[in-house]
Amino acid sequence: MKINENTLLEGHRVVLVPYNKHHVDRYHEWMKSPELQLLTASEPLSLEEEYNMQRSWREDDDKCTFIILDKQRWMDSSLEEEQCMVGDVNIFLTDPTDPSLAELEIMIAEPSYRGKGIGKEVTRMMMNYGLTKLGIGKFQAKIGLDNQVSIAMFKKLLFQEVSVCKVFKEVTLELTVDKSIRMKLLDDMAHVKEKDYRQTCSGRRELRSQRRFSRARSTSS
């Protein structure tokens, strides 16, 4: 989706940025993990296929994706964005006749970042984005029956089980955004700052080159 191609969302512990070409190498490395393939029901892709996938996430009108960055590392402008990557979060518009229905997916790819509340924070940020920017009124999550952590997380976020597919060993959880859920989400996410992504990137690049320049000056004097 093009709508978020220049959007940066800053939360408490994470920063969400659009999925760009320079993220693909690290993403591809993550997806070599058999554990992640199993938990996310994904097939391993070649690097070229991963680049095509990134392009399709950007271009297709039914898909919206953000890369999750560790905010603390991202605030250190000496680090490249790729060094701050933690995972990704996606929204799919699954029903062409109902643009208010979306499937939500999240992956905290870096194991050391799991179990610290980041999954919950990112999912709510994405729900808030879906609600306010994409007009989503109902979210679904399709989760492997063995993925107890993910099932527990979505239930904590008030998703309810609506069906189990024994063939695919998958449960579908759903949340309809009624007035009270909407009010609470808007209230809880009021701290999220939306920024111009390209401007923020050039600001970080500028700081990096200033630092290199002053380092070069101090070593030459």
Ligand X SMILES: CC(C)(COP(=O)(O)OP(=O)(O)OC[C@H]1O[C@@H](n2cnc3c(N)ncnc32)[C@H](O)[C@@H]1OP(=O)(O)O)[C@@H](O)C(=O)NCCC(=O)NCCS
Please state the closest distance from residue 151 (CB atom) to ligand X, in A: 8
Using CB under 6 A as the binding rule, whether residue 150 contacts ligand X is answered as yes
- If one counts every other C-beta atom within 10 angstroms of the C-beta of residue 36, the result is 17
| CB-nearer residue toward ligand X: 143 or 185 | 143
Interface residue with ligand X among 32, 116, 184, 198 (CB under 6 A) is 116
Assess 152 for contact with ligand X (CB under 6 A): yes
Return the axis-axis angle of helices 148-156 and 118-133, rounded to nearest 10°: 50
| 8: contact with ligand X by CB under 6 A | no
Helices (H) and strands (E) in the chain, counts: 8, 9
Residues in the chain: 221
**Token reading at 179:** 């007035």
134 Rama sector, left if φ>0, alpha if ψ -120 to 50, beta otherwise: alpha
Q: Does 120 bind ligand X (CB under 6 A)?
A: yes
The minimum distance between CB 197 and ligand X, in angstroms, equals 23
Q: Looking at 74-82, 118-126, 170-178, 182-190, which segment touches ligand X (CB under 6 A)?
A: 118-126
Give the number of other Cβ atoms within 10 Å of residue 97's Cβ: 5
Dist CA 161 CA 151 (whole Å): 9
Nearer to ligand X, 6 or 172 (CB): 172
Q: Is 44 in the site for ligand X (CB under 6 A)?
A: no
Distance, in Å, from the CA atom of 178 to the CA atom of 182, rounded to the nearest integer, reads: 6
Residue 18 near ligand X by CB under 6 A: no
Shortest distance in whole angstroms from residue 63 CB to ligand X? 16
Alpha-carbon distances of 169 from 105, 146, 147, 159, rounded to whole Å: 17, 8, 10, 18
Q: Which is nearer to ligand X, 15 or 118 (CB)?
A: 118
Least distance CB 77 / ligand X (angstroms): 25
Residues that bind ligand X (CB under 6 A): 39-40, 87, 106-108, 114-120, 143, 147-150, 152-153, 156
